Amino acid sequence: MSRIGKKPVAIPNGVTITVGKDNVVTVKGPKGTLSETLDRDIKAEVIGNALVISRPTDQIRHRAMHGLYRSLVYNLVVGVTEGFKKDLELVGVGYKAANAGNTLDLALGYSHNIIFEVPKELKVNTITEKGKNPIITLEGSDKQLIGQVAAKLRSLRKPEPYKGKGVKYVGEVLRRKAGKAAGK
């Protein structure tokens, strides 16, 4: 049995979980409402103060789905209670970030600035301090959406391996290369 799948998802105070028809799990909490549609073979039921995910057989497909949907539902619960946050750092001379509401204005070394519209479900904040790299902070309750938007921002200028210039996650360790002079 899946080690992750068989763990029940604890329901904290102030959070309500409902399992509707068509296997839609809806989680309501202080930071909003999120829902996830489960696979038709996977069953979810609220027992006491926890949500239990179960599978019908030990087929490989069912075992894979068991752990996956338990993790997705757990992320929904964490999202509506605590929320998620992701920080990106702009490394490079002249790289700048500014935001007006949910619109990001990025200067990433191209001939023009990039205007990026962040979805309204997320909060975006930019921090620019003298002598430090600009930092973009994404906050929200949907983990998948935050990861997708952060990956899209990173893809605008991926960090290159020689100088490390580009958009990277805060704390990300880049694999660096030596360059031409070290090859001789």
Residue 27: which domain range?
9-81
**Average pLDDT over the chain, rounded to whole?**
92
User: Could you read off the pLDDT of 56-114 as tens digits, one per residue?
Assistant: 999 999 998 999 999 999 999 999 999 999 999 999 999 999 999 999 999 999 999 99
Is residue 76 assigned to a domain? yes
Look at the chain and report how many structural domains it folds into: 2
Is residue 24 assigned to a domain? yes
Judgement on whether residues 71 and 126 belong to the same structural domain of the protein: no
Is residue 178 assigned to a domain? no
pLDDT for 1 beyond 50: no
Instruction: Enter the tokens of residue 72.
Output: 């997705």
Instruction: Sort strands 84-91 and 135-140 into parallel, antiparallel or unpaired.
Output: antiparallel
Strands lying side by side in the sheet with 24-29: 16-19, 24-29, 32-37
| Predicted local distance difference test score (pLDDT) of residue 136 | 96
Is residue 22 assigned to a domain? yes
Is residue 98 assigned to a domain? yes
Final residue belonging to a domain, choices 81, 100, 135? 81
Contact criterion met (CB below 8 Å) for 137 and 143: no
Q: What is the pTM of this model?
A: 0.89
2 band by pLDDT with thresholds 50, 70 and 90: low
Is residue 93 assigned to a domain? yes
Q: Rounded to whole angstroms, how far apart are CA atoms 22 and 138?
A: 32
pLDDT for 183 beyond 70: no
Judgement on whether residues 99 and 129 belong to the same structural domain of the protein: yes
Q: Rounded to whole angstroms, how far apart are CA atoms 77 and 50?
A: 11
Q: How far does Cα 133 stand from its chain's mean position?
A: 22
Q: What angle do CA 122, 85, 78 make, to 5 degrees?
A: 95
**Residue type (1 letter), 117:** E
